[in-house]
A and B are shown apart, each in its own frame.
Chain A
Amino acid sequence: MIGAALLDAPARWGHLDWALAVVTAWLLIGVAGVFALRRLKLVARVLFPIGGACGLLLFGVALSAIGAPPEASVLPIGLPSLPFHFRLDSLSAFFLLVIGSVSAGVSAFAAGYFRKGEGTPPGLLALEYHLFLASMVLVVLADDAYAFMVMWETMALSSFFLVTANHRIVEIQRAGYIYLLVAHVGAIGILLCFGVLQANTGDYTFANMRALELSPFWASIAFLLALFGFGAKAGLLPLHVWLPEAHPAAPSPVSALMSGVMLKTALYGVLRVLFDLLHMQVWWWGVLLLAVGLATALFGVVFAAAQVDMKRLLAYSSIENIGLMFAGIGLSVLFSAYGMRPMAALALTAVLYHVASHAFFKSLLFVGTGSVLHATGERNLGKLGGLIRFMPWVAWITLLAVLASAGLPPFGGFVSEWLLLQSFLFSPGLPSSFLNMLIPVVAALIALIAALAGYTMVKFFGVIFLGQPREDKLAQAHDASGWERIGMLWLAGGCIGLGLLPVQFIAVIDPVTRILVGAGLGKTVGDGGWLLVPVSIERASYGPAIFLLGVAASFALAFLLVRFFYHGRLRRSPPWDCGYPWQNGRMQDTAEGFGQPIRQIFEPFFRMERELPSPFDTAPHYRVKVGDHFWHWLYLPVARLVKRLADLIGLLQQGRISVYLLYGFLTLVTVLMVVKQ
């Protein structure tokens, strides 16, 4: 079908055909990578930029497909008489938009990133990378459970191979194993969920599931299975353990894609099952989602504040953001369970907005750490510092992402968190007094999480880029290369654009919320002209452009006043040297020191192993290991249980053929006796 369509005039192609064409192009790039296995120049300078251009094309296609009527097609690939169904509606198009735009930036960055001698040959990396992109697109487009699962597993496997690109390092092997394990446990949950959704009709297309009406009991079972399955991929508590292992292990562009985009496919799955395939929303689903989401968010942000590895820090920050998104979905479910459609649309808009802004700023942060990692060879925050002097490009662009991540205006992160808080403030309208009591607590918790996220980002940026270098070798750090800069600028542009054009972007989200909850913000949101008005102009409004102008004007005024009226001289001197005869980089606040108050306040969250030096130690050494209770309370007991069961089964293995034959004989006799009954 694609072949025939290719010969046709592309002018007659629908959006879906274009999206599939991008997928095909990515697959072809991957195949080309296999033929140029070790030719780094060719792979990096030609294949990755072409892949990025395909991402841009996908971005354009998705933008025009949002709001267009759904398109479907059936491709006769896969098993005979079991073809793949694909469908492009506004929800898919929105996620395609995120995948396309973010992957364009990350691919451009990757063109300058991959170096020689890093485990997997570059051509193979190109194959895995583009296969990963293609499978994410097809997950979003899939319209039957079979295609969905195949693509979901392809996505998990290709990202597994990307995570283990440096497969000779033991920690990376371990990280990859944990990732694969959790991904597959989650996939079982999703598979069972689809099994429940098809309700014994034997027809696994989403069209059939959409048409079926499940009883509340089975719908709840399907919901719980979906929450488990997709939660494992998204990193919800307590299935988050793979995230802080896999993200630091993967090459930075891959971490950027996994955190920025792949986690969002899990969110897509939840939205698809909850709002599209299931027809009902039950209020306790919303409460459960809220609780799990908020617990995840708080857990993630507290752990992020305590990390000393910059990529682990970002991984925990991703857990936090995913938690917030799930909380938003929970609120939306709660509203739509009580029939409050506009409020549900508001919460959902906040979630989708956060999906897009998190995709941009988190992938930008990850590629930024990639540049730092390549320039210095260090991931440990304790050995970085002062890099803004040696890597100005990376530092300034990363600063934009840091501000967006901290949820400061005028960036995208602020808009989404503001919308989320707005939707919480409207929840007193809920008809249940119990929920009305609960919601203010939840809103306060969200405010706490946002503040802690800001704290974490100050730590991240301050320790890496500000102050003095903590090691001598940092002075040799080189700035990002041309391709890396292009990629980072594109992603930074996304952060700024999402911050400055909220009204326009919410108009893009509008059709998505319309098909999911039957209402949208598109109409009311533009009431104030350039002001963003979520519900009514009397209640709240936000004008990013005005805010930006105000900030810029006051900044310029302060600068001018100080420069020309206060003393007018530029004097370089060490700040606060306090009369010490000498100062060096070791005397600055460290990452551990910065996170220490958080570790104290939230001590029950952590499992800390401290090694304090004795007062008489001539070479004092301080060591603290911050662990995760979930490992010890949940994962290790389960692992021990599995091991014990496996050992029990191992007892069957006697090594004697006669005993094995006896097993067969006894089984035969038993079966015969049963048959006779």
Chain B
Amino acid sequence: MSPLVGQTINLLAAILLMLSFAMISQRRILSLIHLFTAQGVTLVAATLLVGYATHQPHLYISAGITLALKVILIPLLLHRVIARLDVRWDVETLINIPTTMIIGIALVIFAFNLALPISKLSVSIARGTLGIALACVLLSFMMMITRSKAVPQVIGFLSMENGLFFAATSATYGMPMVVELGIALDVLVGILIFGVFMFHIREQFDSLDIRHLEKLKDD
């Protein structure tokens, strides 16, 4: 393995992290979807590179599935959903964005600290990127918490899955094929269910603001 490949993978990981931060700071749903697509493209590139460098042909298949799902199909679906619901612009966060960013930085430090002992055990070429992958997961999780609208939450969920996928690739050269296929299917089904839910929330409350769901609480 040439040092070039290793450096490229590190670069892609850095891009992934930056995209995660960009998603946290982004207020517009349309841009969020673009960022999500870009994250997917980066992920595909990274997977292909790891597959090429380590001669793991099954990683090509994983990359293909990721491409089809996360770069093409899901963004397409999301575009259609926001077009139908007409929610291209408005995004409110529960915590203001600078605060979120600071918490995000703390999370990244935590993730690197956490990944340090694990990376030492790993034999993968991309072991240095495990911390970044974990940081992506945590950041996406935080994005789900801080957003009050349904569509950004769904995007946060999907980007969390991206982070997990990257963690799997970088730590162990990807999950077994069966697991990967299963997760891909889960994501697809999940997005369909979310879509249905979003339409129902909209119908019920005339808005996609999930704060309305608080009324469902049992007193």
Which of the residues A653, A657, A664, A668 comes within 8 Å of B218, measured between beta carbons? A653
Closest to B213 in A: A657
B110 touches A658 (CB 8 A): no
1/0 per residue, CB under 8 A from A, across B79-100: the answer is 0000000000000001000000
**CB-defined contacts of B153 to chain A, threshold 8 Å:** 657
Which of the residues B110, B141, B147, B217 comes within 8 Å of A655, measured between beta carbons? B217
What CA separation (Å) do A450 and B153 show in the bound complex?
A: 73
What CA separation (Å) do A497 and B114 show in the bound complex?
A: 80
**CB-defined contacts of A668 to chain B, threshold 8 Å:** 138, 141
Which of the residues B117, B142, B214, B215 comes within 8 Å of A676, measured between beta carbons? B117
What CA separation (Å) do A669 and B218 show in the bound complex?
A: 28
A665 touches B117 (CB 8 A): no
1/0 per residue, CB under 8 A from A, across B138-174: the answer is 1001101111100001000000000000000000000
A676 touches B145 (CB 8 A): no
1/0 per residue, CB under 8 A from A, across B177-219: the answer is 0000000000000000000000000000000001101111110
Interface: A476 (CB within 8 A):
no
B211 touches A656 (CB 8 A): yes
What CA separation (Å) do A661 and B142 show in the bound complex?
A: 9
What CA separation (Å) do A673 and B115 show in the bound complex?
A: 11
B11 to chain A, nearest CB (A): 26
What CA separation (Å) do A661 and B153 show in the bound complex?
A: 10
Give residues 629-677 of A contacting B (CB, 8 Å). 650, 653-658, 661-662, 664-665, 668-669, 672-673, 676
**CB-defined contacts of A654 to chain B, threshold 8 Å:** 214, 217
What CA separation (Å) do A658 and B142 show in the bound complex?
A: 9
Give residues 100-115 of B contacting A (CB, 8 Å). 110, 113-114
Closest to A662 in B: B145
**CB-defined contacts of A655 to chain B, threshold 8 Å:** 213-217
Give residues 41-73 of B contacting A (CB, 8 Å). none
A658 touches B148 (CB 8 A): yes
A130 to chain B, nearest CB (A): 41
Closest to A661 in B: B145
CB contact under 8 A between A653 and B217, given known A669-B110, A672-B114: yes
A299 to chain B, nearest CB (A): 40
CB contact under 8 A between A657 and B141, given known A669-B110, A672-B114, A676-B114: no
A658 touches B94 (CB 8 A): yes
What CA separation (Å) do A662 and B217 show in the bound complex?
A: 17
B102 to chain A, nearest CB (A): 16
Most A Cβ at <10 Å: residue of B145, B211, B217 = B145
How many chain B residues sit at the interface, stated as a range, is 20 to 34
B142 touches A665 (CB 8 A): yes
What CA separation (Å) do A171 and B156 show in the bound complex?
A: 52
**CB-defined contacts of B146 to chain A, threshold 8 Å:** 658
Closest to B95 in A: A658
What CA separation (Å) do A270 and B15 show in the bound complex?
A: 69
B217 touches A669 (CB 8 A): no
How many chain A residues sit at the interface, stated as a range, is 10 to 19
Closest to B134 in A: A672
Closest to B150 in A: A657
Closest to B144 in A: A661
B163 to chain A, nearest CB (A): 12
**CB-defined contacts of B214 to chain A, threshold 8 Å:** 654-656
Give residues 122-142 of B contacting A (CB, 8 Å). 138, 141-142
**CB-defined contacts of B213 to chain A, threshold 8 Å:** 655-657
**CB-defined contacts of B142 to chain A, threshold 8 Å:** 665
B104 to chain A, nearest CB (A): 13
**CB-defined contacts of A669 to chain B, threshold 8 Å:** 110, 138
B114 touches A665 (CB 8 A): no
Give residues 24-42 of B contacting A (CB, 8 Å). none
A525 to chain B, nearest CB (A): 65
**CB-defined contacts of B110 to chain A, threshold 8 Å:** 669
A662 to chain B, nearest CB (A): 5
What CA separation (Å) do A379 and B94 show in the bound complex?
A: 64
1/0 per residue, CB under 8 A from B, across A538-561: the answer is 000000000000000000000000
What CA separation (Å) do A668 and B140 show in the bound complex?
A: 13
What CA separation (Å) do A650 and B113 show in the bound complex?
A: 35
Which of the residues B114, B141, B215, B218 comes within 8 Å of A661, measured between beta carbons? B141
What CA separation (Å) do A669 and B108 show in the bound complex?
A: 12
1/0 per residue, CB under 8 A from B, across A425-441: the answer is 00000000000000000
Closest to B107 in A: A669
What CA separation (Å) do A311 and B124 show in the bound complex?
A: 76
**CB-defined contacts of A676 to chain B, threshold 8 Å:** 113-114, 117
What CA separation (Å) do A656 and B148 show in the bound complex?
A: 10
Closest to B217 in A: A655
Closest to A657 in B: B210
B161 to chain A, nearest CB (A): 15
**CB-defined contacts of B147 to chain A, threshold 8 Å:** 658
Closest to A653 in B: B217
A665 touches B145 (CB 8 A): yes
Closest to A659 in B: B145
**CB-defined contacts of A653 to chain B, threshold 8 Å:** 217-218
List 13 extra interface pairs beyond A654-B217, A658-B210, CB under 8 A. Answer: A655-B213, A655-B214, A656-B211, A656-B214, A657-B210, A657-B213, A658-B146, A658-B147, A661-B144, A665-B138, A665-B142, A665-B145, A668-B141
Pairs of residues from A and B, 8 with the lowest C-beta to C-beta distance, nearest first: A655-B217, A655-B214, A661-B145, A665-B141, A657-B210, A658-B145, A662-B145, A661-B144
Chain A positions within 8 Å of B, measured between CB atoms, are 650, 653-658, 661-662, 664-665, 668-669, 672-673, 676
Chain B positions within 8 Å of A, measured between CB atoms, are 94, 110, 113-114, 117, 138, 141-142, 144-148, 153, 210-211, 213-218
A-B contact pairs, 20 of them (CB 8 A): A654-B217, A655-B214, A655-B215, A656-B211, A657-B153, A657-B210, A658-B145, A658-B147, A658-B148, A658-B210, A661-B141, A661-B144, A661-B145, A665-B138, A665-B141, A665-B142, A665-B145, A668-B138, A672-B114, A676-B113
